[in-house]
Structure 1
């Protein structure tokens, strides 16, 4: 071994930029030339037992080492590798040639314990930021302090500025990524980093110096152990910033002192799939690159990369029905190469290729160019790990379910449509819903898809993210399979959930096919409903139970057990709604009641309307007897005099839609609500509740029922200036929810009420007279469409007869 503090010619330090294709090629070339008998790689030593899996043909990068604390799996860290990562190339070189390989960074046991002591961490975090990674510029400062701080946080940017570049990415591409002369760049990189480290040290200690010192001390510790084992050619692949610290070895005692007393936790490490999107700097990954898709292309298509890239961009655009010819590709290549020559670059880089794509292939259309950027520059690619990878039983169960149900995880978002009448689709739906209960949002249900109205149809958006493996590890405490873990999670949630959440949990159990847990949740609902006296809780709890009872058969579940609980809830709602509305009404006569147009009262009234609408929709899913009982309750409540204006208007609208309130009676009540004795704000709130919001059909009702519209018109005409200003915001809110055609039609009807041209011979939009003779053929065609089975041709009536 060399003398203390000196360099050792048995050690060859290859300082790299993480996830750089030029660095990856340079590392591979250096290893072929050196033929080392041992390789040390920056990474957690706990993963040494997993390195052989890198030789498995089923291991497809991008992948990552996942380390998590056994006592708290939410505290985790990832060490990602892409095919163009220098560390991955070094690992593959070693395992395919039976060269001993080890990871030498600070153990994950210390890293994760350190993270826990420093501050709370999210469910999944990236490996600690690497100083050589691109970082935001610091605040402006004077003199060498700012330069020293920049050297510590972003040494690549400092070197780029020194070379006259305004873009660190472009400088690194020109100097390293596009090198083809075969000369090793590592001595020059190490020398440059040594100067930058001296500059940084001159400014005093940095915030992460203690951690960086511990990392480098452990790297040297592993290196000394390899030298003691007798290895003669040791290749060390690490971040460029650390290279100077490993070229000379200080005393072992100094390094031991730096490692003494570090916090420690028990951890587990495994391989998990990763994505190119999570390698991008935009994802928040500290050592990320701006264009992982471009870098993957540079590494895998070293022969004429610009031509191949633009050809692939043209193919992508053609798939989107964009007209791109071979001539476009030829001209785009010429433009990219010409821009590189003008800018003095050895090869066209991403900026030149992007400009050529926009200008030629996309003909200046930025939106089309954005498609290419999103699909190719970042390039969502999901890696794969072999079946032999260590995993928890729940992870293996999910992988088996994915294989059995033919649901391949992908990084890109894709939509699938499920038909629950098919056994395969039903099982897929159950799996995705069980994962939702466990916090694994692999699939996001698209509720209310208007294209598929049947209760048997579902649409899901699927996109796999690496953090889901962490969520599965956390879910492992509830069970060894997805089904058992979801059932245990449901029981845990049911123990403390309020009544509305408990009934929603019932619906989720039904979707997930958790029959065993469903019975326990239903029993909990019955117990909780028996003691819950809050009418709002009861009303919020009813809709999920009604949906579960109605659609249980679609999911092949006997929902009869829900019937008794649903009946009990509906009975209590019907009995308690009237007194609750009376208790919520402000004290005093109607003339002195405050308006429900703002403040806490308005919010409470809006919440009551939302709950009433929910129960009304729920009773539509139940039997006729339940529907009739509910409508009787609404009729009784609507007749009360002390109900808030917004709520009262909504009750009358629901009764009118259900044919429980005739036109004449409705006109009378409408007139009472807008009488001069009523406060204008309350009358406006009544109208707002009656016409409802978007989708309630209130606009069409006013268009076709001119008597109601006339009542509104006369009420508004009788208001004074002050009262009109008071109610105008409320009416704007009510009528603003209508579609523009509905508002125009209401305006036309109001114009006629005010003395404008009247009669049925006008169109709603233009007010032009209708030519009966010209309209007759169109009327005849409509009649034929409405009666296609008529034995004889329908005669062409006159327009007046059709009316």
Structure 2
């Protein structure tokens, strides 16, 4: 069996060169590549003539599991080189790994992630032994800029050492067992003809061992049945997508930015523009290209980079390369040289290339631009004949039909059917996360009366890739947006804030089916909500949609009615369980009672809500001294708003306490503002009690009082001010009282001065101490 195994690091130019050289030298009959086997019937699609980078995007969705993953390919990916060179020498080329939707890939967002990094503690020891910061620097030192003469042996030693005796997890074990079947089948069919196997270096030792066992009879390969792509050799069966699942694989344009480890890419190779240059020009050319790219980018951003700076950077890089034992400056040699020459200030955080993680905050602006220059701006492009999911075509047709495909700003009036239809389309696109569609203004919660929207639509370079990826949700824009929104409703669980957002998004997008499904989730979640504030917000949104939403077609629907009734019951149950004595007014829980009151007022009869039971509950809360004052005030206001209070002046007189007055009044004003405003006796009583506070009591109560009176809109505050002036025999512009003094410190100083003057006058017998009844 003439099988040559090449263990590679994904996206490694040095490994790609080794793959190319090996295939050219051996002229193999079979080239087997770590990649999704279900793509074998479509290999010609990969070779249409795309501009790399591109990626194979795979999606999977059933009732229990959601999965999406990418297998990116660029010019210097060993897998891409194996595919193209294998075809060039007329070898039979096959991907031999499990499909990306398979459970073995659970939790793996990128097929070409560096598997060894998930297992090998030995990498940390190697980094310490060679005196480098991280595995990327170690890899460059050992592989990318090292002599290529003994690269194959070095890679074998490296990956054997990294793998060691490490046992693969369940997912990797399943993948390696499946790939071993392909290797055994090719080896058996090839006889003495060469077979080249290109896989991640972590998997190589396991595949070598499996073939050795098969050759000695230890693991005799089973006849897997007829081939998916050819009758000979008998390739293993390719797992089929379960009948109950939705998904598939498509090519998508990719970008260097998405490929970059500094941008969070899981595979880890950073600075793709640098490695592209390393692939094209070699180590010396890549170092020069790196310096030029950084210089160009900084100068484009009006940063001064002198010739002296460049000379200093190059000199430092070459000196560092010599000290570090590099024949040519490595990536970090050049970066360290540039940082030394261009950054003159102290750095708040370590240089980002000293670790392998996404670029964080606190980095020097010059360093950020350096990283961006190394990342590169290249974006792949698919050949026009590349198959695309049905959603891509439906999206293009829908946008063209509504004249929304190009870059433009759109002002939409939601009361006009044509504009409402365009709005629903744009919201469906937004729900799928397709870039280039941004709503700058419009209704956002269901509570605002906004009936106009302003959209900014731009042709974004990632629109096609995002549309292909969104195709996992459905074949049409409507179906895909509905599936995406339903998924949000399911994953929201008992988070009613998220569920309320789902409800309103469904209304904005005109997805009535999703609205019904989401409301089932809301109905289940309502009974588990432990807090009043989010439940009140949800009820306010749903009630508004039930009462007024003729624009979106949700008014008086049965599903919304069910949620309203459940929310009212839950709020009343939670309110009666709140205790804790004096606490600052909580607008969220006050708002829950407001929403409950509004539901009883506007939907109580239609939905047969029990108003009398609600009034009994809030009556008990209002009279319970163990309840926080804001809820007591709100409960009293609840009763009063339904005219269920015989003598409100008596209640106010008994409940008003200077220490908690502001918090109690906040609840009262939120629920019974109009009743207070139109009951002169209560206003007179409040005026007497507030003006009767001494200086200390007033200063303590003032912040809460200010918040309480904010429940009155400006016009009603002006009416209150006019009545205060009239009670004191004054006439004039009441708005001057509302403007008042903006600086609270000046008010406090003035009141303290008044207090000292009063004390002096009393001491001298010039005024008589008032005695309160």
Q: Residues 372 and 33 from structure 1, CA distance in 2 versus in 1: closer, same or farther, beyond 3 angstroms?
A: farther
CA distance in 1 between counterparts of 2:462 and 2:593 reads 36
Describe how 1:289-300 pairs up with structure 2 within 5 A.
289-300=269-280
Correspondent of 1:234 among 192, 195, 206: 195
- 1:39 is paired with a residue whose SS is strand
Contact 1:649–1:686 (CA under 8 A) maintained in structure 2: no
CA distance in 1 between counterparts of 2:411 and 2:711 reads 27
CA distance in 2 between counterparts of 1:498 and 1:159 reads 46
Who is 2:477 aligned against? Answer: 482
CA shift, 1:560, in A, is 8.9
CA distance in 2 between counterparts of 1:216 and 1:560 reads 54
Who is 1:649 aligned against? Answer: 666
- 1:359 is paired with a residue whose SS is helix
Who is 1:782 aligned against? Answer: none
Correspondent of 1:255 among 219, 235, 241: 219
Who is 1:691 aligned against? Answer: 707
Describe how 1:193-342 pairs up with structure 2 within 5 A.
193-194=159-160, 200-201=164-165, 206=167, 208=169, 211-212=172-173, 215=176, 218-219=179-180, 221-225=182-186, 228-229=189-190, 232-243=193-204, 245-246=207-208, 249-251=212-214, 253-256=217-220, 266=241, 268-274=248-254, 276=256, 279=259, 287-300=267-280, 302=282, 304-342=285-323
Describe how 1:435-584 pairs up with structure 2 within 5 A.
435=429, 437=431, 455-458=452-455, 472=470, 475-476=473-474, 480-486=475-481, 507-514=504-511, 540-543=538-541, 559=551
Q: Residues 92 and 748 from structure 1, CA distance in 2 versus in 1: closer, same or farther, beyond 3 angstroms?
A: farther
CA distance in 1 between counterparts of 2:476 and 2:157 reads 53
Contact 1:437–1:489 (CA under 8 A) maintained in structure 2: yes
Who is 1:55 aligned against? Answer: 47
Spell out, residue by residue over 1:708-730, the C-alpha distance to the aligned partner (whole angstroms, 9 max, x if none). 9xxxxxxxxxxxxxxxxxxxxxx
Who is 1:178 aligned against? Answer: 145
CA shift, 1:393, in A, is 2.5
CA shift, 1:42, in A, is 1.6
CA shift, 1:232, in A, is 2.8
Q: Residues 249 and 743 from structure 1, CA distance in 2 versus in 1: closer, same or farther, beyond 3 angstroms?
A: farther
Who is 1:754 aligned against? Answer: 752
Describe how 1:642-721 pairs up with structure 2 within 5 A.
646=663, 648-649=665-666, 652=669, 669=686, 671-672=688-689, 688=704, 690-691=706-707
Correspondent of 1:434 among 428, 435, 454: 428
CA shift, 1:442, in A, is 8.9
CA distance in 1 between counterparts of 2:57 and 2:583 reads 57
Spell out, residue by residue over 1:10-50, the C-alpha distance to the aligned partner (whole angstroms, 9 max, x if none). x3332222221222233233333444443221223222122
CA distance in 1 between counterparts of 2:60 and 2:572 reads 53
Contact 1:65–1:79 (CA under 8 A) maintained in structure 2: yes
CA distance in 1 between counterparts of 2:144 and 2:709 reads 59
- 1:42 is paired with a residue whose SS is strand
Contact 1:44–1:104 (CA under 8 A) maintained in structure 2: yes
Spell out, residue by residue over 1:249-291, the C-alpha distance to the aligned partner (whole angstroms, 9 max, x if none). 4335533479999996636444344455654557886643244
Contact 1:504–1:544 (CA under 8 A) maintained in structure 2: no
- 1:27 is paired with a residue whose SS is helix
Who is 2:617 aligned against? Answer: none
Q: Does 1:344 align with 2:325?
A: yes
Contact 1:65–1:269 (CA under 8 A) maintained in structure 2: yes
Structure 1's unaligned 5+ residue stretches are 3-7, 116-120, 139-149, 410-414, 529-533, 553-557, 588-592, 620-629, 709-741, 759-803
Contact 2:20–2:85 (CA under 8 A) maintained in structure 1: yes
CA shift, 1:671, in A, is 5.0
CA shift, 1:611, in A, is 6.4
CA shift, 1:689, in A, is 6.5
CA shift, 1:163, in A, is 5.4
CA shift, 1:747, in A, is 0.8
CA shift, 1:751, in A, is 0.7
Who is 1:108 aligned against? Answer: 99
Spell out, residue by residue over 1:225-258, the C-alpha distance to the aligned partner (whole angstroms, 9 max, x if none). 2552568343322223444543964335533479
Contact 2:10–2:77 (CA under 8 A) maintained in structure 1: yes
| Structure 2 length-normalised TM | 0.61
Q: Does 1:607 align with 2:589?
A: yes
